[in-house]
Structure 1
């Protein structure tokens, strides 16, 4: 019961656009402090805490009894303590986002001065372009996508900004990402990941790919909502097998930007990304009732293995991806990975 209740509240509170009224989970008891603190922890693990905290505040103002059962005397103290903890965590998330965005702008300015074919992807870009601001999307690093022949020159730019390169371990030498770090003034490490392909694993890159030329080059259409949708789908599927709710919410928010359906199909096909994009759009439609996502999914047309895919990566499975029982779902994820190796670009 506790697992389904936490999943239900995550679904209700995790839409950056407001309360997801499709989900109506049962309330917690006034003494269930450990359970609602677990909700905040799982929201952090799913990288959806900014929306969860904001929507939790709305829920507690509009209908506190729907979240915590009890008399006013019993619930007033727990509600104050919960929101104090939640807002403190949200402040930490936003502070990290602002710090990373500031460094990202410095890097982009240096890239522009050097005239390099490289661009910002995922975290900062999604937050500012699709979510409405840094306060609504969690991210922990800066991601850059670069044309392979310019990677060395980009490394010089990063080195001049005080970042240090880290050689990947032997088993990841063939992956298309490299890490750069530097200490920051508030303690800890600032991480920049440089990608030459959004798809990292060599065995998947034979079937799915998204390079700088496919994503950002004007000849391929440049950076558009459709391109971001393909990027989000590939990232959620090939790097993480939809192991966080954030990957679904990324698709949800990009769909709400307004995505050209014809362009999306063309760009998904040339990246071998029809299955990943279809999975992300289906989940956004199922979990949040997003009509834009459903319309884009229908516009994709037939997608190979769609009937099996929806049984492997189900909405409840995504919601449980950070629960204590997540290990039970690993076989489904690995079967989905096999599907990715069977679909996409011709072998």
Structure 2
């Protein structure tokens, strides 16, 4: 099997809603390695295990059992945080991991998570800190070169179990150089859902920001999140998407994410949705810098890193709203 064929098979297996396909025994190990590299091991393992059992698959299943257990523990903590936010009517909301697993993945165990992310307005930062302190958490700061304030991202840990991580975000765009152009904080999240941050359109924009601004497309899992959020859009959401992307300043990133899921998961409808977002030279350049091959090569290839960093440079200089 060629590398291109293996990549295509990985994408098919990583798609939570695509049917499983037959896999040769000698292909299992390379696919499991790729799945780990791209953080899509849960769904790939689920599909492969339905066909056969190997020592490597059993090891992967044992690994995932621990990860799912951590996710369940974190889900209980998230429920306490949600109740606290609701009771005190705080301007804060849990985003990403547990929300994605519950709302956009048909099989929640396909999307385990290793931390809880809370988006807060400035007024909620203090009360959320008090809650976490009461739950036994401590704010972690590096002794040198700490960027907590600069990145608007607090990391809270339990001293006796630092795997139970909670991150409090003032903005999901952590890098100051990018925030000069684009911001995605509590106000933008609420805007994207017209006051309801739990809607499908806000989830879509959170996945876009996470993939394209929080990270640099370094794992396929980031785009599986985009794929699943896009699938949950209603016709009204899809119609509103281009204008909302423009208002949020996310036209470039939303268009590129849609083009990538169209290419990687063979979805012409996503390509058509991308074309409805007004774009120009920056979008065309972004597509040349970050294509499906660059994403799939991201964990190991130096050229992919160069291309994705060049895209980050493009993001810094494109005028707000341009795409």
Go from structure 1 to structure 2 and tell me whether the alpha carbon gap of 1:245 and 1:20 turns closer, same or farther (over 3 Å shift): farther
1:310 lines up with 2:302 in the alignment: no
Deviation of residue 270 (structure 1)?
A: 2.3
Give distance in 1, aligned partners of 2:238 and 2:75. 30
TM-score when scaled to structure 1?
0.83
* 1:245-264 aligned within 5 A: 245-259=220-234, 260-264=237-241
Deviation of residue 80 (structure 1)?
A: 3.1
Map Cα deviations across residues 117-153 of structure 1 (whole Å, 9 max, x no partner): 0001111101100012431113211001000232112
Q: Is there any run of 5+ residues in structure 2 with no aligned partner, and where?
A: none
**Where does residue 109 of structure 2 map in the other structure?**
135
Give distance in 2, aligned partners of 1:277 and 1:6. 27
Deviation of residue 49 (structure 1)?
A: 1.2
Moved beyond 4 Å, runs of 4+ = 1-6
Give distance in 2, aligned partners of 1:190 and 1:316. 34
Go from structure 1 to structure 2 and tell me whether the alpha carbon gap of 1:13 and 1:195 turns closer, same or farther (over 3 Å shift): same
**Where does residue 261 of structure 2 map in the other structure?**
284
Give distance in 2, aligned partners of 1:335 and 1:177. 24
**Where does residue 35 of structure 2 map in the other structure?**
43
Name the Cα RMSD after superposition: 2.6
Map Cα deviations across residues 198-224 of structure 1 (whole Å, 9 max, x no partner): 101001011121111121369844222
Map Cα deviations across residues 174-217 of structure 1 (whole Å, 9 max, x no partner): 11111001157xx5521001101110100101112111112136
SS at match of 1:321: coil
TM-score when scaled to structure 2?
0.88
Go from structure 1 to structure 2 and tell me whether the alpha carbon gap of 1:189 and 1:183 turns closer, same or farther (over 3 Å shift): farther
1:122 to 86, 96, 119: 96
Give distance in 1, aligned partners of 2:191 and 2:255. 24
Map Cα deviations across residues 60-101 of structure 1 (whole Å, 9 max, x no partner): 36xxxxxxxxxxxxxxxxx43233223222322322221211
Map Cα deviations across residues 40-70 of structure 1 (whole Å, 9 max, x no partner): 2432332211111112134x36xxxxxxxxx
Deviation of residue 14 (structure 1)?
A: 0.4
Deviation of residue 233 (structure 1)?
A: 0.9
**Where does residue 131 of structure 2 map in the other structure?**
157
Deviation of residue 3 (structure 1)?
A: 5.1
1:271 lines up with 2:263 in the alignment: no
Q: Is there any run of 5+ residues in structure 1 with no aligned partner, and where?
A: 30-34, 62-78
Go from structure 1 to structure 2 and tell me whether the alpha carbon gap of 1:20 and 1:305 turns closer, same or farther (over 3 Å shift): farther
